[in-house]
Structure 1
Amino acid sequence: MGIFLLRRFATFVATLFAASIVVFAVQGVLPGNAAQVMLGESATPEAVEALSKKLGLDQPAAVRYGRWIEGFVTGDLGTSVAYETPVAQLIAERLAVSAPLALMAMALTTVIALTLGIYAASRHNRLGDVGVMAASQIGIAIPNFWFAILLILVFAVKLQWFSAGGFPGWRVDDGGGTWPAFKALILPAVALAVVQAAILARITRSAVLDVLREDFVRTARAKGLSQRQVLWRHVLRNAFVPVLTVMGLQFANLLTGTIVVENVFSLPGLGRLIFQAISNRDILVVQNVVMLLAAAVIVINFVVDVLYAVIDPRLKVHSV
């Protein structure tokens, strides 16, 4: 187990290092001076020179990279030119929306997908299976932004159970609170979860069906175990490896791909922040947010790799 974790951790560090180089290099290949791009064509040469010195663009690339990584590790990400606010503070404020939204959407995705996928597999080629597959196909075909607008029309405009957009905040002092903030994220989480749940349900069904055809399942049934006992005791754990792979990719996608839904619901999350930063040519914010999202994806993949060994110890043995 120790060698397995050591190898996975070494891969994790190497991937993180490579991602940081790519993200940093993108700024260097931008046409013209990055400070000029941030300030616009109407900026004076003096303003461009002052911002270049502030960003350290007059220093060698290796020095700038080292300082950026040091600041990223310590939380000193510089100051946003457009917002005139520390980038770390901006990201922390937006993470307070995006992270709970992604977790809620992933929780909904997992519950819906596993329930429907297992149900469909246990009723293979019967009416329940056909119904779940038809519903999942529709769910995959629906764009989440269109479904988000539909949710607003039904539950916010017609029924008036939820607000059409905005985020009140988690603190009561700011006019929000735990329940108002949670309620504001329900519709966006549902909009994100529908497509992901449709995909994961199909993967779960296929994985469970593959395991149900294995010899050890027939042996378990021959010993007198019921279908439910075989399913919960033997099948699910063996079928969970491919399901976990897709879940890891989906959670990473929910963290990095909420920009459209956040704009539909006017949520001040990371997706909307990076969209506004690109519009404002705030390269420093874009660079740090992209690196944070890349690091989040790499961390999720590392956690999934470790969970593989917990679920199926055979993978740990084969990798050594």
Structure 2
Amino acid sequence: MGLFLLKRLLTLLATLVAASALIFSVLELLPGNVAQVILGDSATPESIAALEAKLGLHRPALERYASWIGGWLRGESAVSTSYDTPTATLIAERLQVTLPLAVLAMMLTVACAFAMGVYAAAHHRRWPDVAVMTLSQLGLAVPSFWLAILLILLFAVKLQWFSAGGFPGWTEAEGGGWWPGIKALLLPAVALAAVQAAVLARWVRSSVLEVMREDFVRTARAKGLSRRATLWRHVLRNAMVPVLTVIGLQFAFLISGTVVIEQVFVLPGIGRLVFQAVANRDLAVVRDVVMLLVAMVVVVNFIVDLLYAVIDPRLKVART
């Protein structure tokens, strides 16, 4: 187990280093002068040179890359040119919206997908199976932003059960609270979860059907175990191995895929922050946000690899 963990950690670190170099290089290759874009066409050469010196753009690219990585290792981040605030502070503030939104959407995704997938597999080739597959196909075909607009029209405009956008905050001092905060994130979470639940339901159904054809399932049934008991005691645990990979990837996607939904619902999250940073050519914010999203994806995959050993005993035997 120790060697397995060490290999995964080394792979994680190597991936992060490669990703950071790629992100920095891509942003360096963007056309145009950053200082010129920030100051506008009427800026004088002297003011442009002064801003370049302030942003460190006059230094060689390799030196700026080392300074960026070294700053994060020391717990220091760059300063946003748009907000005049450290990017770590901006990201921490916006994660208070994006992370709960992603977690809530993931909970809805897993709950709906497992209910639909297991139900369809238990009624294979009968009308419940056809109904679930039709519903999941419809979920795959509906864009999340279009569903978000429909949810706003129905639940915010017509029924007036929810607000059409905005976020009140998590504390009463901000004018909100935990329930108003959850209520403000519920419609965006449903819009995000619809497509992901449709994808995951198909994976759950396929994985459960595949495991139900295994010999140990037939043996359990021959010993007198009921179909339901066999499904919940033996089939689901073995079917979770491929499904867990999809869940990990979906959670990482939900964190990084909130850009459009946060724009539709006017949520002050990571997606809205990076959208505004791109519009303002605030490369420090863009670079740090993209690096954070990549790191989240890599860390989630690392956690999924470790959970394999807990779910699938065959992996323990193989490593032993």
For the criterion TM > 0.5, the same-fold answer is yes
Task: Compute the displacement of 1:29 (Å).
Answer: 1.5
Q: Look up the equivalent residue of 1:203 and give its one-letter code.
A: W
Report the counterpart of residue 220 of structure 1 in structure 2. 220
List runs of 5+ in structure 1 lacking aligned partners.
none
Report the counterpart of residue 176 of structure 2 in structure 1. 176
Report the counterpart of residue 118 of structure 1 in structure 2. 118
Report the counterpart of residue 156 of structure 1 in structure 2. 156
8 Å contact 2:94–2:270 — kept in the other structure?
A: yes
Task: Compute the displacement of 1:316 (Å).
Answer: 4.8
8 Å contact 2:34–2:281 — kept in the other structure?
A: no
**Is residue 258 of structure 2 the alignment partner of residue 285 of structure 1?**
no
Report the counterpart of residue 197 of structure 1 in structure 2. 197
Is 172-181 or 64-73 further displaced after alignment?
64-73
**Is residue 83 of structure 2 the alignment partner of residue 83 of structure 1?**
yes
- Within 1, Cα distance between the matches of 2:190 and 2:142? 13
Seen in structure 2, the aligned counterparts of structure 1 residues 29 and 319 have a Cα distance that, compared at 3 Å, is: farther
Report the counterpart of residue 23 of structure 1 in structure 2. 23
Report the counterpart of residue 128 of structure 2 in structure 1. 128
Seen in structure 2, the aligned counterparts of structure 1 residues 126 and 62 have a Cα distance that, compared at 3 Å, is: same
Spell out the pairing of 1:94-113 with structure 2 (5 A cutoff).
94-113=94-113
- Within 2, Cα distance between the matches of 1:254 and 1:17? 23
- Within 1, Cα distance between the matches of 2:90 and 2:43? 25
- Within 1, Cα distance between the matches of 2:13 and 2:318? 22
Task: Compute the displacement of 1:42 (Å).
Answer: 3.5
8 Å contact 1:95–1:269 — kept in the other structure?
A: yes
Spell out the pairing of 1:255-274 with structure 2 (5 A cutoff).
255-274=255-274
Is 93-102 or 48-57 further displaced after alignment?
48-57
Deviation string 1:83-105 (CA, Å, 9 cap, x unpaired) is: 22221111111111000000000
CA RMSD of aligned residues (A): 1.5
Task: Compute the displacement of 1:55 (Å).
Answer: 2.2
TM-score under structure 2 length normalisation: 0.96
8 Å contact 1:38–1:283 — kept in the other structure?
A: no
Is 197-206 or 49-58 further displaced after alignment?
49-58
Seen in structure 2, the aligned counterparts of structure 1 residues 42 and 75 have a Cα distance that, compared at 3 Å, is: farther
8 Å contact 1:94–1:270 — kept in the other structure?
A: yes
8 Å contact 1:27–1:34 — kept in the other structure?
A: no
Seen in structure 2, the aligned counterparts of structure 1 residues 86 and 125 have a Cα distance that, compared at 3 Å, is: same
SS in 1 for 2:216: helix
Instruction: Give the number of equivalent residue pairs.
Output: 320
Seen in structure 2, the aligned counterparts of structure 1 residues 35 and 198 have a Cα distance that, compared at 3 Å, is: same
Structure 1 segments of 4+ aligned residues over 4 angstroms from their partners = 316-320
- Within 2, Cα distance between the matches of 1:41 and 1:99? 38
- Within 1, Cα distance between the matches of 2:268 and 2:118? 36
Seen in structure 2, the aligned counterparts of structure 1 residues 46 and 166 have a Cα distance that, compared at 3 Å, is: same
- Within 1, Cα distance between the matches of 2:132 and 2:227? 20
Task: Compute the displacement of 1:16 (Å).
Answer: 0.7
Is 225-234 or 77-86 further displaced after alignment?
77-86
Deviation string 1:241-289 (CA, Å, 9 cap, x unpaired) is: 1111111111111000111111110101111111111111111111111
Deviation string 1:34-66 (CA, Å, 9 cap, x unpaired) is: 433444443322222222222222223332122
Q: Look up the equivalent residue of 1:314 and give its one-letter code.
A: R
Task: Compute the displacement of 1:70 (Å).
Answer: 2.2
Seen in structure 2, the aligned counterparts of structure 1 residues 213 and 273 have a Cα distance that, compared at 3 Å, is: same
- Within 2, Cα distance between the matches of 1:306 and 1:42? 56
SS in 1 for 2:114: helix
Is 158-167 or 39-48 further displaced after alignment?
39-48
Task: Compute the displacement of 1:319 (Å).
Answer: 6.4
Report the counterpart of residue 187 of structure 1 in structure 2. 187
TM-score under structure 1 length normalisation: 0.96
Seen in structure 2, the aligned counterparts of structure 1 residues 26 and 41 have a Cα distance that, compared at 3 Å, is: farther
Q: Look up the equivalent residue of 1:290 and give its one-letter code.
A: V
- Within 1, Cα distance between the matches of 2:271 and 2:19? 19
Report the counterpart of residue 5 of structure 1 in structure 2. 5
Report the counterpart of residue 300 of structure 1 in structure 2. 300
Q: Percent identity?
A: 65
- Within 2, Cα distance between the matches of 1:262 and 1:318? 44
Task: Compute the displacement of 1:172 (Å).
Answer: 1.0
8 Å contact 1:4–1:316 — kept in the other structure?
A: no
Is 306-315 or 264-273 further displaced after alignment?
306-315
8 Å contact 1:252–1:297 — kept in the other structure?
A: yes
Seen in structure 2, the aligned counterparts of structure 1 residues 31 and 97 have a Cα distance that, compared at 3 Å, is: same
Task: Compute the displacement of 1:315 (Å).
Answer: 3.0
